[in-house]
Chain A
């Protein structure tokens, strides 16, 4: 995960206590053992026999500088070719690494033979995209039914915060986490998702350290409507000063954000203000929404965001204004400066992507601080400044329902980020379908409105594709799943990105023909009307569910499908369109798919509503939730028969 570099100078550690370097006492067994697996484990592509994490904060006897050493030791049994491909290449990120102390690897065969890594084959990659440097190597001698083992020790820049994720996408028979610190240092730990309490015990070298051993950690499963990454078993730790004070850390963060962003004085950046003032000369400025969106348009239309790790001058506001380029941190400063100039009442919000980590106000960690937003108190809306094309809007869906820290000049507060109601995030599609029985060709006309996240996403996609590939836009918005759609007409209205701020619908109106919707059976036609709502997700083939339900957003889909009954024909099977599936939790509707049909004035009219009102549902509701999802899929397969009278 790429760190948000808003608070880089926090939490440097100073101390005067000493201890021995623990990693020097840790090594692999001189005579490696080939571990027996159970029959079930032997069927898995790979199994970690042991994964050990050794974290040591160290101060030399005659020094006062704290150093941080991290050792990782993995022993992994490979059973299949899939297992080989997963484990035979090792990438060690060395961002923030002072020194690579050692890297070694070996492979043990069942007959006891051992192949050691030739260290000359360890390669280095520099400045890889946004991820810094890497040491990489391919493990030598890996075959199916072999056991690979590697250990590496890195000296990192000392940081008082860290986390170890022990649950992987393969089974771990034993994970051991050891955190050693000088006696003068205090610590706090926070276990997540079943990680046990850590306790002091003697480790290699005869020294006391915090340890935890966890047996048989099942592989985490990727599942839809879930956050498996955030649900992995892990422990976060803080090792700092003589007294670990979460309150002080949040206070430090608050002070830092205030100094760096909130307190920016726009009068010190006259060229920016002059340029901005010229830009907004003829722009509407009656409301704060208009002012905020003017600022967005000004910034994104004049400044380039450089996202790579280089931090040089691009975080310096004066340089940014001159060069028209900025890091993500720099662009937040730019926005802060302009918001201050306009005297807007805002807070800077820091939170996590809930799919990776749930923000924890009770435990300060870097994982809490991955996403920066602006919150406008009066408008109760957010801005994600580092995303091009952002406007004042709902908070990003990856942050809603998550806790967050809100900071302004007056202080800080923790607050759950509001979840837009399902009525604010709507896809509404009204169809009129006519069938020419001579040519067996149906014509589909649709008024299509989207609001909320769907409206915002559609506007962004339309802006990007309207000149590049409008057909692609048509295909995935209007004719998703209908391979042979031929558009006769396609109109777009209210495309401006700023309209999302007041949740004005993005409107499409289109007409297409699609032969594939109809099956011609002579004097009978089967019309697959359900297909017009597009490809639907389904959970028909799901394995036993592991994660609780967690949705991306709350949403309502409303469909009206009006089908003209061809002259001389009667409609059959109309009642088959009726579906009623719902989940109620504590007497409230959590989600549902309800459809019904009728014949009226020569038309078959089908109405369907699919709604999701609850972001989180316990695993006990999974079967009922699955039925709702599958109901939408079933609806998309529904047909009606027209039979000659």
Chain B
């Protein structure tokens, strides 16, 4: 008994010291992951693959401030099911393990996805307090070799010791691709024995995930992506995912049973395009028809998440997810005799190339590509209101895996859309009403490309009682600005350009001090809050799309006043962004012409450009505040 007490006492003391040491090393942390091991075991039996992933995690609670982190869950889905799970808490004061008795299965609702097959086992570590360690171990069965879990090493606790490994027999060929390991303390070794090869990565001191990324964390955090290239059995070699062609072949195997020709949909298609003469007219007609009539509802339901539903059924149901919409568009284009192809793509949330990672992790979206003499036009039916000819903004610059038949495909980069195609131009004529110190204006806004797309999305969601819609959407005017007689022209999606005319009146906008009046003629507030601050400066700034904003304003000098001071012209040019403001007194001395253009010409502002970007924003905001001064003449 004494022995046991001494042992407990020694254990308790050493655990306490050990916790205190970590508390000194990590004074701002409440919880540390002392160790995390993930091991993927690949085996073969009678020519079939058997894959499991075993995860063991040990957390140390340094304080009592985050006891809610005792609430834990392990996710799973159709492709990765949980075979076993156990969890416990070791509380040094008690000197024993308290085991979790109850694990609850839950469906996980993912924002923006109507139905998915993601589930979790949730549980609570018992008796957690400062100094306690929690212990989790689970084994997942990987039910499909195309979905080997990636080691995405991102956690909301620092990981002191991480070990990630994969073992496989000699008849299995495995490849891996690592990302961002160079920023970590990583050692890699290969262990060979008579039966198996094991790749092991040890990573020391992985910091917790940074909360200041603008792009998806996948662009920055350490990752090891493993895929099975092939396996052999009795002289037969089965390719799994060795290169993009394997991925493509697997994708087409999933969809080849689909898409039987449907006479009803064919008739509908032919009827739709009966008055169209050119391919371009037919494509546009069908593209806008799908955009207008099929509503996007996201489903991610196991393998069904990779197989488009029957096109005619989608037509009847009037809804579908991205692959359903891509497929119905593709089918209808085929009926119209257009060379169109189903296309897999990873949106900008995914940083991967198919060449590096020829696995389903590389993509998350499906679109349709139309081939005209070897040149592709990318059509995304989910991007409602997107004008024909432009790819959806979130696919710009990404690799598209384009189907060219059962075995043939092509990987093509989706172009980045030039700023000149995404333009908001507002032409204004403004007058100062000196009696009420008001600024009145008549305006015509012209929007094209993604600027038009964004506007129409917001217009669709607009509340009838939202009188500030133009203020917020065009970023134009002030909160006191009344917007009147608003008229939209060319609201039809097919029109390349949207026109909006409106009048404004902004009371108390003009300052009158003595015999002078001050007025700020730059009426827009674009990019006002876009400076990159503090810790975020270390990371790239994400730009959704390149754009031009043009403001051409004539400001009439009020009667009885003369111009006293004109702000200096502004000019800043850069590879990624420009700003230009010119002020000019018109020859008749009755008005000032202000020409302002700001451009963003890159989808990404790199960390070494952040200072320049901030200077650009600062100059823009400062310029927007510049006043014209008019002096009373009498």
Contact = CB atoms under 8 A, between A and B. Distances in A.
**Co-assembled chains A and B:** yes
Interface of A: 43-44, 80-82, 84-85, 88-89, 107, 115, 123, 125-129, 136, 138, 140-143, 221, 300-306, 308, 310, 312, 322-325, 388, 467-469, 471, 475, 483-484, 515-516, 519, 521-522, 526, 538, 540-543, 572-573, 576, 633-634, 639, 641
Interface string B62-101: 0011011011000000000000000000000000001000
Interface string B452-469: 000000001110111110
A483 B622 contact: no
Contact of A88 (B102, B297, B511): B297
A40 to B, nearest CB: 11
B211 A221 contact: no
B104 A310 contact: yes
Interface string B297-318: 1000000000000000000111
Contact of B129 (A82, A324, A542): A324
A479 to B, nearest CB: 11
B234 interface: no
A304 B107 contact: no
B295 A484 contact: no
A82 B462 CA distance: 8
B627 A526 contact: yes
B513 A572 contact: yes
Nearest to B211: A469
Contacts of A125: 107, 109, 115
Contact of B629 (A305, A322, A468, A521): A521
Contact of B461 (A82, A310, A325, A572): A82
A195 B550 CA distance: 53
B115 A522 contact: no
Interface in B32-87: 64-65, 67-68, 70-71
Contacts of B106: 126-129
B127 A82 contact: no
B319 A573 contact: no
B105 interface: yes
Q: How large is the interface on B (under 10, 10 to 19, 20 to 34, 35 or more residues)?
A: 35 or more
A126 B114 contact: no
A126 B119 CA distance: 9
Nearest to A298: B64
A607 to B, nearest CB: 21
B313 to A, nearest CB: 9
28 contacts: A44-B464, A82-B460, A82-B461, A88-B319, A125-B109, A128-B106, A136-B115, A138-B114, A301-B67, A301-B129, A306-B71, A308-B104, A325-B124, A388-B68, A468-B211, A469-B535, A471-B534, A483-B528, A516-B621, A516-B622, A519-B625, A519-B626, A540-B468, A540-B480, A572-B513, A573-B511, A634-B508, A639-B511
A565 to B, nearest CB: 15
A306 B109 contact: no
Interface in B7-29: 28
A448 B430 CA distance: 41
Contacts of B319: 88, 138, 140, 142
Given A88-B319, A125-B109, A324 B622 contact: no
B571 interface: no
A633 B479 contact: yes
A107 to B, nearest CB: 8
A128 B528 CA distance: 39
Contact of B479 (A123, A516, A538): A538
Contacts of A138: 114, 297, 317, 319
Interface string B107-132: 10100001100000010101111000
B631 to A, nearest CB: 12
Given A138-B319, A516-B621, A573 B513 contact: yes
A610 B246 CA distance: 69
Nearest to B528: A483
B618 interface: yes
B318 A127 contact: no
Nearest to A43: B464
Contacts of A526: 511, 518, 627
A224 B297 CA distance: 32
A305 B68 contact: yes
Nearest to B130: A301
A578 B317 CA distance: 62
Contacts of A301: 64-65, 67, 129
Given A128-B106, A142-B319, A306-B124, 16 more contacts: A44-B464, A142-B318, A300-B67, A304-B71, A305-B68, A324-B126, A325-B124, A325-B128, A467-B28, A469-B211, A475-B533, A515-B622, A516-B625, A541-B468, A543-B467, A573-B513
B318 A323 contact: no
Contacts of B127: 322-325
A554 B124 CA distance: 40
A522 B565 CA distance: 9
Contacts of A543: 465, 467
Nearest to B129: A302
A431 B466 CA distance: 36
Contacts of A634: 508
Nearest to B295: A84
B121 to A, nearest CB: 11
Contacts of A538: 479-480
A219 B529 CA distance: 35
A81 B292 CA distance: 9
Contacts of B65: 301
A87 to B, nearest CB: 11
A43 B622 CA distance: 42
Contact of A81 (B460, B528, B534, B626): B460
Instruction: Give me the 6 closest cross-chain CB pairs, A-B, nearest first.
Output: A543-B465, A323-B126, A127-B106, A467-B28, A301-B64, A140-B317
Contacts of B98: 323
A143 B318 contact: yes
Contacts of B128: 304, 324-325
A138 to B, nearest CB: 5
Contacts of A140: 316-319
B317 A521 contact: no
A308 B318 contact: no
A366 to B, nearest CB: 25
A258 B480 CA distance: 56
A469 B533 CA distance: 12
A84 B297 CA distance: 11
Nearest to B520: A519
Contact of A80 (B64, B114, B316, B460): B460
A44 B511 CA distance: 41
B529 A483 contact: yes
B514 interface: yes
Interface in B466-481: 466-468, 471, 479-480
B384 interface: yes
B570 to A, nearest CB: 13
B531 interface: yes
Nearest to A146: B318
Nearest to B29: A467
A24 to B, nearest CB: 29
Given A82-B460, A483-B528, A541-B471, A128 B622 contact: no
A341 B629 CA distance: 74
A44 B565 CA distance: 50
Contacts of A484: 531, 618, 621
Contacts of B627: 519, 521, 526
Contacts of B629: 521
B293 interface: yes
| Most B-side CB within 10 Å, residue of A125, A475, A576 | A125
B162 to A, nearest CB: 22
B467 A541 contact: yes
Contacts of A516: 621-622, 625
B58 to A, nearest CB: 18
A176 to B, nearest CB: 26
B621 A641 contact: no
